[in-house]
Structure 1
Amino acid sequence: MTSPGADPVRLAVAVEAPLHSGLHGPLDYLSERPLSPGALVRVPLGRRDVPGVVWTTAPGDDEGHALKAVTEVVDALPPLSARWCDLVKFTSTYYQRGLGEVAMAVLPPELRKLDNAGLASRIAKLRKAYDKPVPAAPAPVRPELTSDQADALAKLAEVNLPGAAPVVLLHGLTGSGKTEVYLRAAEAALAAGRQVLVLVPEINLTPQLEARFAERFGGGDTPRRIVSLHSGLTPAQRLKNWLAAHLGLADLVLGTRLAVFAPLPRLGLIVVDEEHDPSFKQQEGARYSARDLAVYRGKLEGSCVLLGSATPSLESWQRAEQGRYLRLTLANRVGGGVLPKVRLADMNLLPKVRGATTALAPALVAALAKRLERGEQSLVFLNRRGYAPVLHCTDCGWKSGCPHCSAWRVFHKGDRTLRCHHCGFTQPVPRACPDCGNLDIAPLGQGTEKLEEQLAAALPGARVARIDADTTKHKGALEASLSAVHAGEVDILVGTQMVTKGHDFRRITLVAAVNPDSALFSSDFRAPERLFSLLMQAAGRAGRDAAQADRSEMWVQTWHPTHPVYTALRQHDFKAFAASQLKEREIAGLPPYVHLALMRAEARTPEAARDFLQAAADLAAELPGANELLLYPPVPTTIARVAGVERMQMLVEASSRPQLQRVLSPWMAALPSLRATHKGVLRWALDVDPLAI
């Protein structure tokens, strides 16, 4: 509150205004004293008191007396840095979301609830805990570097000078020791008194990598403090770790995409592991790419950004080809191991009988049996959970569609349910066809449950385990399953793509991909890139122990064995695959040679969604620079209806980012004016640089 005799200071404060309110920038408030940008405050907004971040000191005018006053200054927390504010501002501007929306979304929920006294108490407890000495631990044992690793680190040291902010693409085969390069680079940054941020694509990879970093940096004469940031933490844990990062108490922060916004006052290195992974793209709210923001943040902080992958995204690969990124290569596996030999099981050679589409190739079964005889492990993955994608009636053709979505309900045999994986609608399996009463309703297609059953029947006595979203939904289930695999208690591991990347399974010598062909003919132009990456990552799970590498194999069951994706896979030739894909995209005018935005609309009817998008296109056509853009007609999304809501999308294309941004900003500001005439529209959202179309 302002005191009667004080001259109030006018402040611009970033607060989360209601969506589509048109209030995208900071709002003005009065304060009894100047506050630094980045300070946390509580301010009135409508009838509520909401948290906000001081953005700037706003210029005064004659209407200053009408402004509301700041309710509380949360000065127990040091202000967020100017570089953090710049990162949030860029995210807001580039991805076309409200400044306050982004600023509040990237702060811990618990922080937004606490008053000054409550936060001061939390900080005092945290400092007291960090003042306690770290228990003594033996000094870490560092493995001897391979020649590839030594060369990469030497070149990294040459370019990673103070303030240089290089972006380095570490292209290394699976099993080539990329993690050791991360550890050594982090070691150098920590020795210089800097902090390190490590981003991973998925929560289930965070504990594994955290253990590697704790083993390396948790002991010796100068043990380091390591914290994690991801959505799997409780609100209290997330706030504690966020505060440790912001106060400079934590030396290393490991996390998923949201951790790119972790405030780190001494940031010296950013590592993005598996930088190609689509999980780095946020799909709700501000649809940002954490990988791209990591690159931008590196420039803001003057810090090195290390992007690592065995199958880099084509965008990163092209920038390395152009010389914008430094590319370092790890061309050999640690220990001299070789990559698994890729074998294709041609499904066209199987007898043409009912059910052949979900059969296991005899050659694959024989290869699995050989592993069992030798006491080795195998990994068989199918990127579809459940028992079968659909139930159908052999008499009338009924299928288990979802009444609320334009999708099938998946048959889960374990609990005898039909579940929609889009809206969650679940029902028991009917005893007879709902349409004609026929008792012969049968599963169509194959999921991981059925695959697990088939393998157990084909290989009696084999210990088959399954890891997917259904078996790991309970706390600790994933860790327990992985521990069983590492301990040798599993002969054949069945799973979705969650088991194909990042895991160091030392006993697995065979990996098999069952029916991955659907991605070959997808309407999404990125589908071949994602499939090749997934198969290369999966192949890398085999033969990670050099002693077994010479007999490691990858099997792919396919109906299209001559497809170029499989040809490149057999040679483990990412460079050739990337070159052919980039050439195709250049000819077709696709990213990274053009720049896209996708406007999505959700409405009660498809007509309402389409009319809104068409009106939005007409609005865009009137803006300066619109003649430089190409707006495609509205079309339904791949799954057109979810939970009773109809969804349409409209693609916007430009030859450069500046061209696109010049139109997007005024366009988004004008769109709320359409609500009055398009009341059937429930919501809309813009996705800049969309990953899926």
Structure 2
Amino acid sequence: MTSDGPEPGQGRLALPDDAPSPPAPGRDGPRPAGPDRRVVRVVPDVAGIGREFDYSVPERFADQVAVGSVVRVDLNGRRVRGWVVADDVEAPPGVAVKDLARLTGVGPPADLVELSRWAAWRWAGRRRTFLVAASPPGRVASLPAPPPAPPTGVSVPPGPTAEAALAHERAVLRLPPAADRYALVVAALAATAADRDALVLCPSVAQARALAARLRRSGSPVACVAHDRPGTAAAGEWARAAAGGATVVGARAGAWAPVPRLGRVVVLDEHDEAYQEEGSPTWHARDVAVERALRAGVPALLVSPCPTLEALRWGTLVAPGRSEERRGWPALLLVDRREEDPAAGLLTEPLAALLREGGRVVCVVNRTGRSRLSACARCRELAACTECGGALAQGAEGDVLACTRCGTERPVVCAACGSTRFKVLRPGVSRLRDDLAALVGEDVDEVTATSEGTPRTRVVIGTEAALHRVDRADAVAFLDVDQELLAPRERAREQALALLARAARLVRGRAEHGRVLVQTRQPDDVVLQAALHADPDRVRAVEEATRVALGLSPFRAVALVSGAAADAYVAALGRPDGIEVQGGAGEWRLRAADHRVLCDALAAVERPPGRLRLEVDPLRS
């Protein structure tokens, strides 16, 4: 998180070689810009174009065009959408300009238009990407009148810890998983200036809608900008937000929602990976939100049961007392499997006892299909790909073996001895669903990222997606948590603790007898000990020392460059001062002391033609 960026007037991206050129002058086309003609600068909504174009404003809608207006322009024989990003500019002498073809409607306010320039620099992307995110999800011709001020109601007492956090301009509140986040939001709204509005972000659309509905029932005017798809209703909520006078609630894209009188920013579960865009540019909603707060000079509050190092470097940590934090985490049952056969299955006696007690149980293992690793039952040869040597996995149907590395498929036959019988060493959720159903004697639902609908059975098995599809459970069981602890990712510890925190929220705290069962061969791992003792600081201390020593984010600014054009891009980058360049063959890692150095260097490079993926602050590297 940083407010560094290009100076005003800089940062205009170069036009790619294959981008359309400005139209040539014609009979009814462009004319030289005169002193009496108002000219605006437009970013066209066309992928691959990073250049801005100048257009003159016709008199018929001159009084309605402003920075942020959505317009239609003629560009290389096509009429395309665009955004006015600068008003009353001076076109270079002798340059022919065309009139704006049409005024489409209301677009992002001027502060978000300016923020898009910073974001394009910060995440090495096209400005268009962020203008799309900041635009209404449908045409908005005009804004409604702001709602009347609500009557003064009784706020929920925030408690001393939350009250202390709200007193800071830049605070990170470590709120235990079982704590009431709604009470915190209500307290934050009450602490916001009467003539100002708050922006509240949730990690998912469903959570944002639930929070907005609860606030509405309490009488608060709310604009919920969280939506699954564009449409009239979504555009109406965006217009209500842009009109002012309402609390704006959204998910990741909500970081770009219009809030004309911003008074406070609250980001719930700032650690959640859903806040970061998976596609390039890899912008992060948390960082956009706090940058808005910084520019507006208003308080920002980041909330999480296990704050990220990025958040902790940005703001002041406010944590509850030890007894309060322990009450907010459930009992953790550690099943130590160090003395068991490594090939033993995942259905242990402690798990069976938990299932027999009744109540809803969610079992988690992050492996899809029937198996992720198998061995021949006759000759004990591992099932490996004959093309690349990767492990062979069985899908949900179990009728083929597919390579997890190159995708090659073959029949379920041992390549060494021809046997068709295999022993599962690492079962997936499909195989475990069958085993669990046999164990409990009832149906078991399977949940993965591609599953549809809500699970209905008492016992549920799935990947971590199950933790987001089930609203409440009596117990959560991690059947193979070592897979998360040993994942080959820089943020593996943070991500593993976040999974445990999510499970803790499902079962609530100790007072409600919630339980999380964890099967592991590493019971002394710092992540498990942190959850066991309700002390996330243990992970923070280890993570911080590791990342400082290895020069990892957030103590170094990192970018990954990949794709067919990656080598050409890195060649054009060269070896500027302060940039470490590592890698090759289409995959490169760039590191610098801070984002100012890294992002300035990336902004100075013209993108070569071809597929290119730039990931600044990669989430899973």
TM-score category, normalised to shorter length: 0.7 to 0.9
Choose which of 121, 125, 129 in structure 2 pairs with 1:97: 125
Q: 2:224 aligns with which of 223, 227, 232?
A: 227
Higher helix share: 1
User: Unmatched 5+ residue regions in structure 2?
Assistant: 1-27
The answer to whether structure 1 residue 88 and structure 2 residue 130 are counterparts is no
Q: Equivalent of 1:618, from 571, 574, 578?
A: 571
Q: How far 1:581 moved relative to its partner?
A: 1.3
8 Å contact from structure 2 (residues 123, 599) kept in 1? no
1:553 aligns with 2:515: yes
CA contact (8 A) 1:598 1:649 kept: yes
What is the alpha-carbon distance in structure 2 between the residues aligned to residue 416 and residue 208 of structure 1?
42
Q: Given the superposition, is the C-alpha separation of residues 107 and 442 from structure 1 closer, same or farther in structure 2, using an over 3 Å criterion?
A: farther
1:176 corresponds to 2:205: no
Counterpart of 1:44 in structure 2 is 74
Q: 1:417 to 1:272 in 2, by over 3 A?
A: farther
TM-score in terms of structure 1 length: 0.74
Alignment correspondent of 1:412? 396
Q: Which residue does 2:214 correspond to in 1?
A: 212
- Is the contact between residue 411 and residue 443 of structure 1 (CA under 8 Å) also seen in structure 2? no
Give the aligned residue type for 1:12.
R
Distance 1:6 1:86, change over 3 A: closer
How much has 1:543 moved relative to structure 2? 4.3
Q: Quick one: structure 1 residues 299 and 141, their matched pair in 2 at CA, closer, same or farther if it must change by over 3 Å? A: closer
Instruction: Work out the CA distance in 2 between the residues paired with 1:454 and 1:252.
Output: 48
2:130 and 2:391 map into 1 onto residues whose CA distance is 32
Shift of 1:403: 9.9
After superposition, the C-alpha distances for 1:437-495 in whole angstroms (9 at most, x for unaligned) are: 7543565522233333222222335x644443343x2xxx23xx4xx5xxxxx533333
Counterpart of 1:684 in structure 2 is 612
Cα distance in 1 between the residues matched to 2:429 and 2:249? 31
In structure 2, which of residues 230, 233, 236 is the aligned counterpart of residue 237 of structure 1? 233
Structure-2 residue corresponding to 1:383: 366
Moved more, 431-440 or 446-455: 431-440
The corresponding residue for 2:465 is 498
CA shift digits 1:508-539 (9 cap, x unpaired): 1x322111212333332211221122123323
SS in 2 for 1:560: coil
**SS of equivalent to 1:412:** coil
Mapped partners of 1:317, 1:184: distance in 2: 22
CA distance in 2, matches of 1:652, 1:267: 36
Tell me how far apart the structure 1 counterparts of residues 480 and 592 of structure 2 sit (CA, whole Å). 36
Counterpart of 1:469 in structure 2 is 449
Q: Is 1:345 the equivalent of 2:335?
A: yes
Of the structure 1 ranges 536-545 and 329-338, higher mean CA displacement relative to structure 2 is found in: 329-338
Q: Please name the residue that 1:520 is paired with.
A: 485
One-letter code aligned to 1:557: Q
CA contact (8 A) 1:109 1:235 kept: yes
Equivalent position SS for 2:286: helix
Deviations 1:137-179 (A, max 9, x none): x999966x4xxx32234335544xxxxxx22211111112233
Query: Are the equivalent residues in 2 in contact too, given 1:108–1:235 (CA < 8 A)?
Result: no
SS at match of 2:99: coil
Structure-1 residue corresponding to 2:550: 588
* Cα distance between partner residues in 2 of 1:523 and 1:532: 15
Equivalent positions of 1:226-305 (< 5 A) are 226-230=223-227, 232-248=228-244, 251-305=246-300
Distance 2:439 2:74 in 1: 66
Provide the residue aligned with 1:606 in structure 2. Answer: none
Shift of 1:204: 4.0
Counterpart check, 1:365 vs 2:356: no
* Residue 142 to residue 59, structure 1, CA distance change in 2 (3 Å): closer
Change in 2 beyond 3 A, CA 1:3/1:553? closer
Match of 2:538 in 1: 576
Alignment of 1:29 with 2:55, yes or no, is yes
Contact map agreement 1:391 1:441 (CA 8 A) in 2: yes
Q: Does 1:566 align with 2:528?
A: yes
Is this contact kept in 1: 2:271–2:308, CA < 8 A? yes
The verdict on how the C-alpha distance between 1:235 and 1:431 changes in structure 2, with shifts beyond 3 A counting, is farther
Of residues 400-409 and 99-108 in structure 1, the stretch that sits farther from structure 2 once superposed is 400-409
**Any conservation in 1 of the 2:39–2:56 contact (CA below 8 Å)?**
yes
In structure 2, how many angstroms separate the alpha carbons of the residues matched to 1:313 and 1:385? 28
2:189 paired with 1:186? yes
Residue 234 of structure 1 and its aligned partner are, at CA, apart by 4.4
Cα deviation, residue 327, structure 1 = 2.7
SS of the equivalent of 1:389 reads strand
Contact 2:195 2:261 in 1 (8 A): yes
In the alignment, residue 554 of structure 2 is paired with which amino acid?
A: P
- The CA deviation string for residues 66-104 of structure 1, in whole angstroms up to 9 with x for no partner, is 222210123x53x63221112111111211222234313
Alpha carbons of 1:400 and 1:50: their partners in 2 closer, same or farther (altered >3 Å)? farther
Question: Quick one: distance in 1 between partners of 2:401 and 2:572?
Answer: 43
CA contact (8 A) 1:468 1:498 kept: yes
Q: Secondary structure at the match of 1:385?
A: coil
Counterparts in 2 of 1:70 and 1:400: CA distance versus 1, 3 Å: farther
Q: Distance in 1 between matches of 2:325 and 2:306?
A: 21
In 2, Cα distance between equivalents of 1:26 and 1:595 = 28
The secondary structure found in structure 1 opposite 2:131 is helix
Q: Helix, strand or coil for the counterpart of 1:206?
A: helix
- Distance change (3 Å), C-alpha of 1:496 and 1:439: closer
Shift, 1:291, TM fit? 0.6
The 3 A distance-change label for structure 1 pair 253 and 522 is: same
Note the C-alpha offset of 1:582: 0.4
CA-to-partner distance for each residue in 1:337-394, whole Å, 9 max, x for gaps?
4633323222233346xx51x321212222332x32xxx3333222233333367766
Partner residue of 2:22?
Answer: none
d(CA) in 2 for partners of 1:497, 1:440 = 30
Cα distance in structure 2, aligned partners of 1:9 and 1:419: 62
CA distance in 1, matches of 2:276, 2:346: 35
Q: For the Cα contact (< 8 Å) 2:556–2:591, is it kept in 1?
A: yes
Question: Structure 1 residues 665 and 395, CA, compared in 2 at 3 Å: closer, same or farther?
Answer: farther
Instruction: Normalising by structure 2, report the TM-score.
Output: 0.82
Preserved contact between residue 614 and residue 633 of structure 1 (Cα < 8 Å): no
For 2:296 and 2:404, the matched residues in 1 are separated by: 41
Q: Partner letter of residue 338 of structure 2? A: N
Q: Return the alpha-carbon distance in structure 2 between the equivalents of residues 422 and 299 of structure 1.
A: 44
Q: CA deviation at 1:332?
A: 6.9
The answer to whether the 8 A contact 1:400-1:409 is kept is: no
CA contact (8 A) 1:40 1:53 kept: yes
* Structure 2 residue identity aligned to 1:202: S
Q: Does structure 2 conserve the Cα–Cα contact (< 8 Å) formed by 1:653 and 1:660?
A: yes
Q: Distance in 2 between matches of 1:97 and 1:633?
A: 22
Displacement of 1:263: 1.4
State the distance in 1 between where 2:164 and 2:431 align. 49
Between the aligned residues of both structures, percent identity stands at: 24
Return the letter of the residue paired with 1:649: E
Counterpart Cα distance in 1 of 2:326 and 2:85: 54
CA displacement at 1:692 relative to structure 2: 1.9
Say if 1:172 and 1:308, in contact at 8 Å, map to a contact too. yes
Distance verdict in 2 for CA 1:214–1:449, change over 3 Å: farther
Identify the match of residue 161 of structure 2 among 152, 166, 187: 152
Matched with 1:679 is none
User: Could you say what secondary structure the match of 2:354 adopts?
Assistant: helix
